[in-house]
Amino acid sequence: DTAVSQTPKYLVTQMGNDKSIKCEQNLGHDTMYWYKQDSKKFLKIMFSYNNKELIINETVPNRFSPKSPDKAHLNLHINSLELGDSAVYFCASSQGTGRGYTFGSGTRLTVV
Amino acid sequence: GNSVTQMEGPVTLSEEAFLTINCTYTATGYPSLFWYVQYPGEGLQLLLKATKADDKGSNKGFEATYRKETTSFHLEKGSVQVSDSAVYFCALSDQNDYKLSFGAGTTVTVRA
pLDDT tens digits, residue range B22-39?
A: 999 999 878 999 999 999
Contact at CB, B98 and A103, closer than 8 angstroms: no
Answer with the residue of higher pLDDT: A37 or B2.
A37
Other C-beta atoms closer than 10 Å to the C-beta of B111 total 11
Say whether A27 sits in a helix, a strand or coil: coil
Identity of the residue numbered A49 = Y
The answer to whether A100 and A41 have CB atoms below 8 angstroms apart is no
pLDDT tens digits, residue range A58-110?
A: 888 999 999 999 999 999 999 999 999 999 999 999 998 877 899 999 999 99
Q: What is the mean pLDDT of residues A14-35?
A: 96
Q: What is the pLDDT of residue A103?
A: 95
Answer with the residue of higher pLDDT: B96 or B80.
B80
Say whether A96 sits in a helix, a strand or coil: coil
Q: What is the C-alpha to C-alpha distance for residues B30 and B77, in angstroms, rounded to an integer?
A: 26
Contact at CB, A97 and B93, closer than 8 angstroms: yes
- CB contacts, 8 Å: B50 with chain A: none
Q: What is the C-alpha to C-alpha distance for residues B18 and B5, in angstroms, rounded to an integer?
A: 21
Split at pLDDT 50, 70, 90, the class of A10 is very high
- The beta-carbon neighbor of B98 closest among A43, A97, A104 is A97
Q: What is the C-alpha to C-alpha distance for residues A23 and A26, in angstroms, rounded to an integer?
A: 10
- The beta-carbon neighbor of B43 closest among A42, A98, A105 is A105
Split at pLDDT 50, 70, 90, the class of A2 is low
Say whether A83 sits in a helix, a strand or coil: helix
